[in-house]
A and B are shown apart, each in its own frame.
Chain A
Amino acid sequence: MTAPRVPATARRRPATRRSGLASARLLRLELRHNAMLWMLPVAVALFWFTTYRKTMAMPPLWNLRAANMQSGALADFITPVVGAAAWMGSREARRHTTDLVTITARPRWARLLTTWAATTGWAIAGCLGCLAVLYTVTARQAGWGGPLWWPAAVVAASLAALSAIGFAAGTLVPGRLTAPLAAVAAFFMLALSTELIVGSQSYWQISPLVTGPWDAGPNAGVGTFYPYLPDLSIAQAMFLAGLTIAVLAALALPRGSGGRRLRAAAAAACAGGLVAAGTAVALAGTGKLDAHGMIAIPALHDAANDRPIRFSPVCSQTAIPVCLNPAYASYLPAVAAALKPVLHEIAGLPGAPVRISQAAVTYQQGAGNSVGASLAGPPVSGRPPVYHLLLPDQLPGPVTTVSELAAAARLTAGPAILASVMGDGPGASQAQHAVTAALVMAAGLPPHGIPPAADGQPGTPPEVTPGSPAYAAAQRFAALPASARHAWLVRHLTALRAGRVTLAQLP
């Protein structure tokens, strides 16, 4: 061992700038030797196998994919992040370096904060990297709209909060079992946090897993006709930020963590964080399902978000154009093809719609967590008449593929369009039922009342059942050449709609 040659170091306290440089160097060391770095491949693999593949199977709608990403990414990252943070938090005790680091000048809290920052930095970087890939692919596929950043912000804030909780657990209860126990506990706590949600006015909506009305799930009908409401996301981000600040500040409260001023500031920050988190929970409790399918929190709500988004619809080149919101442009060819036979039957008839136009869904909170979704007004309105179409994906339920959606639209919207033109509905005549059923058969759809295909379809007229006079008349009318059917309808549709045509008068 050799005698020292380096000059004595300056004894002045480093200036802020130099202190910042030292903090950056410390952070670099912590980043290089962080357990989260080893857990990232696990988290990314989980994200790939569960969230990414599931999200990519969804239609390329920003709201749909962003909502699924938020809850999925959280579920994938929570265990690795909390585990790694707890492992890093317990490092000094596990490695018996407590004495060594205790006698250094840098306050304990600043030292711990650097370690936490490195852990959280890797977690957020990894998660945002996954998100970037998902959003980049979606940007290439989506025909309209743009990325939603609030879900990403909630995910980032969640990871910071979860990391802080895990880190604090590791610091307070250092041990080799702390990390796995904290990871498992955090997973179950987050998963169970949604179990107590009842209705839209629930404090438990503060759970970052919640992206909208609970039990409605990611919904394609949200955020396309009306702006995405960030109200709940703001409350969640506020809650998570408050929680993070409170937990991290609590680490500075024990004696020896820093000077009196630091501890006083930490106590204030801890209280402030708790107040912010509590306020956010209270705000979430005031949230209500709005008519556009999102949670609106009055205190955070921006009335400008209640105005519909202006858009130019994309329309098909069919006999009667089918016009969809540009967000659904990728659905148009399949939906137009599915409805083409139906539209062919009514094109040119008096009172037939000049356009099939996709409409927004109106949502209503039901009992418990049930959510009702329907068309706001009558299906046909205006002069010339326009038929307002709801795609099955706009309604709460499982997300379908494009071909599944087109088939469902054909089975539900097709008969409904025909019935609206024929005036079929409650109180309609047997002839109206029969003609509607005939056109349904002619369009190649499962005829109403004939099981099994049409069984249970909405609007099924019970009168048109096999063996009934109306069914026989429908079969007879459907058997006519298309031109003959069309010619008869042109001449008699007004009388038919007025209920002045009997079954016997049908050709």
Chain B
Amino acid sequence: MNVEISGLTRRFGRTTAVAGVDLQAGPGVLGLLGPNGAGKTSLLRVMATVVPPTSGRLRLLGRDPGQYGPRREIRRRLGYLPQNLGYYPGFTVAEFVEYFALLKEMPAARVPAAVAAAVERVELGGKAKARLRTLSGGMLRRAGIAQAIVNEPELLLLDEPTAGLDPEQRVAFRGLLRHLGQRATVVVSTHLVEDVGAACARVALMDRGEIVFHGTPADLTARGQGHGIGDAPLERGYSAVISAARS
């Protein structure tokens, strides 16, 4: 298992963002669904080693991120796209991706090829030399995805990756996710259940800091049978689980 989480809690002051989460994930795409404030981003940030858990056990890629050496090793194999992508406006797309490839300690000789490949994979090859300040929101999102995948991560954490992408790009991105999931563990936090249905082998549903459902998209769809809220079967399953968790 690339992700082993048991009893993980993360508090920010008096607020408990993640409350005793248990989760295991191997290679494949795991969709993380949930309403606003459910704790998805906090869980991803803990998994990305941005912040340590307040309590509980976390192992990533078979290592303990609480220790400096293993954490550094995890970070070499990690890709992360935060919800709010910060960037340096003066950097070009290629420079931005190269910067993170170097910070991820990729062998310097391989960086140029890896950067070119990552930029191509997000279909920004024609904009590789464009400064980030000149890009649209969707293009910036794709540049963010490129920096996340440039090191061919074994654990890829994406927080709202399709926000700002047009439908065509979202379809293409789902294809990329499926491909990456063949080898790596990809955790995608999203509000868009159609993304989960199309690209994720498994789905976890969070509410109020807890995981209230973990299974396949088909399992989630099955939970929605007979439930009236939602346009699509998966949406009805989502609503049914949330309603059940809150009742």
**Residues on A close to B: CB < 8 A?**
1-6, 8-11, 13-14, 18-19, 21-22, 24-26, 29, 32-33, 91-92, 95-107, 111, 258-260
With A96-B84, A99-B48, A103-B48 as given contacts, are A4 and B104 in contact (CB-CB < 8 Å)?
Answer: no
With A1-B175, A14-B107, A105-B103 as given contacts, are A99 and B152 in contact (CB-CB < 8 Å)?
Answer: no
Residues of A within 8 A of B87 (CB): 95, 97
**Residue in A closest to B73 when the chains form the complex, CB atoms:** A105
Q: Are A259 and B114 within 8 A (Cβ)?
A: no
**Residues on B close to A: CB < 8 A?**
45, 48-50, 68-69, 72-73, 75-78, 80, 82, 84-91, 95, 98-100, 102-111, 113-114, 117, 120-123, 142, 145, 147, 149, 151-152, 169, 172-173, 175-176, 179-180, 183
With A1-B121, A32-B95 as given contacts, are A6 and B107 in contact (CB-CB < 8 Å)?
Answer: no
Residues of B within 8 A of A11 (CB): 76-77
Q: Are A4 and B69 within 8 A (Cβ)?
A: no
**Residue in A closest to B106 when the chains form the complex, CB atoms:** A9
With A9-B107, A22-B108, A103-B78 as given contacts, are A3 and B86 in contact (CB-CB < 8 Å)?
Answer: no
Residues of B within 8 A of A10 (CB): 107, 110
**Residue in B closest to A97 when the chains form the complex, CB atoms:** B86
Beyond A2-B176, A100-B147, A106-B105, list 18 extra A-B contacts (CB 8 Å): A1-B142, A1-B175, A1-B176, A2-B121, A4-B179, A4-B180, A6-B117, A9-B152, A13-B76, A19-B105, A22-B102, A22-B106, A25-B108, A99-B80, A100-B85, A103-B78, A103-B80, A111-B103
* Complex Cα gap A10–B107 (Å): 8
Interface CB pairs A-B, < 8 A, 6: A2-B172, A6-B152, A9-B152, A105-B76, A105-B104, A106-B104
Q: Are A97 and B88 within 8 A (Cβ)?
A: yes
Q: Are B103 and A106 within 8 A (Cβ)?
A: yes
Interface centre among A9, A33, A111 (most CB of B within 10 A): A9
* Complex Cα gap A258–B77 (Å): 18
* Complex Cα gap A21–B108 (Å): 6
Interface centre among A3, A5, A19, A260 (most CB of B within 10 A): A3
**Residue in B closest to A13 when the chains form the complex, CB atoms:** B105
Q: Are B72 and A259 within 8 A (Cβ)?
A: yes
> Nearest chain B CB to A401's CB is how many angstroms away?
47
With A4-B152, A99-B80, A259-B69 as given contacts, are A105 and B102 in contact (CB-CB < 8 Å)?
Answer: no
> Nearest chain B CB to A174's CB is how many angstroms away?
12
Q: Are A104 and B82 within 8 A (Cβ)?
A: no
> Nearest chain B CB to A110's CB is how many angstroms away?
9
Q: Are B117 and A5 within 8 A (Cβ)?
A: yes
**Residue in A closest to B75 when the chains form the complex, CB atoms:** A105
With A4-B121, A25-B102 as given contacts, are A9 and B110 in contact (CB-CB < 8 Å)?
Answer: yes
* Complex Cα gap A18–B78 (Å): 20
> Nearest chain B CB to A253's CB is how many angstroms away?
14
Interface centre among B98, B145, B173 (most CB of A within 10 A): B98
With A6-B113, A9-B151 as given contacts, are A1 and B103 in contact (CB-CB < 8 Å)?
Answer: no
Residues of B within 8 A of A95 (CB): 86-89
Q: Are B103 and A104 within 8 A (Cβ)?
A: yes
Residues of A within 8 A of B95 (CB): 29, 32-33
Q: Are B103 and A26 within 8 A (Cβ)?
A: yes
Contact of B108 among A4, A13, A18, A107 (CB under 8 A): A18
Residues of B within 8 A of A91 (CB): 88
* Complex Cα gap A21–B102 (Å): 10
Q: Are B169 and A1 within 8 A (Cβ)?
A: yes
Residues of B within 8 A of A97 (CB): 86-88
* Complex Cα gap A104–B86 (Å): 14
Q: Are A29 and B98 within 8 A (Cβ)?
A: yes
**Residue in B closest to A102 when the chains form the complex, CB atoms:** B50
* Complex Cα gap A19–B73 (Å): 15
Residues of A within 8 A of B123 (CB): 1-2
Residues of B within 8 A of A14 (CB): 105-108
* Complex Cα gap A435–B238 (Å): 118
Q: Are B169 and A26 within 8 A (Cβ)?
A: no
Q: Are B122 and A1 within 8 A (Cβ)?
A: yes
Residues of B within 8 A of A29 (CB): 91, 95, 98-99, 102
**Residue in B closest to A262 when the chains form the complex, CB atoms:** B68
Residues of B within 8 A of A104 (CB): 75, 100, 103-105
Interface centre among A32, A105, A258 (most CB of B within 10 A): A105
Contact of A3 among B78, B106, B114, B121 (CB under 8 A): B121
* Complex Cα gap A29–B100 (Å): 11
Nearest first, the 5 closest Cβ-Cβ pairs linking A and B are A96-B86, A104-B103, A97-B86, A21-B108, A1-B172
With A97-B87, A105-B75 as given contacts, are A2 and B82 in contact (CB-CB < 8 Å)?
Answer: no
With A10-B107, A105-B103 as given contacts, are A4 and B86 in contact (CB-CB < 8 Å)?
Answer: no
Q: Are A99 and B72 within 8 A (Cβ)?
A: no
Residues of B within 8 A of A98 (CB): 86
Residues of B within 8 A of A3 (CB): 121, 175-176, 179
Residues of A within 8 A of B100 (CB): 100-101, 104
> Nearest chain A CB to B190's CB is how many angstroms away?
16
* Complex Cα gap A96–B114 (Å): 25
Residues of A within 8 A of B82 (CB): 99-100
* Complex Cα gap A21–B109 (Å): 8
* Complex Cα gap A32–B109 (Å): 20
Q: Are A100 and B88 within 8 A (Cβ)?
A: no
Residues of B within 8 A of A32 (CB): 95
Residues of B within 8 A of A2 (CB): 120-121, 123, 172, 175-176
Q: Are B152 and A8 within 8 A (Cβ)?
A: yes
**Residue in A closest to B77 when the chains form the complex, CB atoms:** A11
* Complex Cα gap A5–B86 (Å): 27
**Residue in A closest to B79 when the chains form the complex, CB atoms:** A103
With A4-B117, A25-B98 as given contacts, are A33 and B91 in contact (CB-CB < 8 Å)?
Answer: yes
Residues of B within 8 A of A260 (CB): 68
Residues of B within 8 A of A106 (CB): 102-105
Q: Are B48 and A33 within 8 A (Cβ)?
A: no
Residues of B within 8 A of A5 (CB): 117
**Residue in A closest to B45 when the chains form the complex, CB atoms:** A99
Contact of B86 among A25, A26, A99, A258 (CB under 8 A): A99
Interface centre among B48, B87, B107 (most CB of A within 10 A): B107
* Complex Cα gap A22–B110 (Å): 10
> Nearest chain A CB to B124's CB is how many angstroms away?
9
Q: Are B109 and A18 within 8 A (Cβ)?
A: yes
* Complex Cα gap A14–B108 (Å): 8
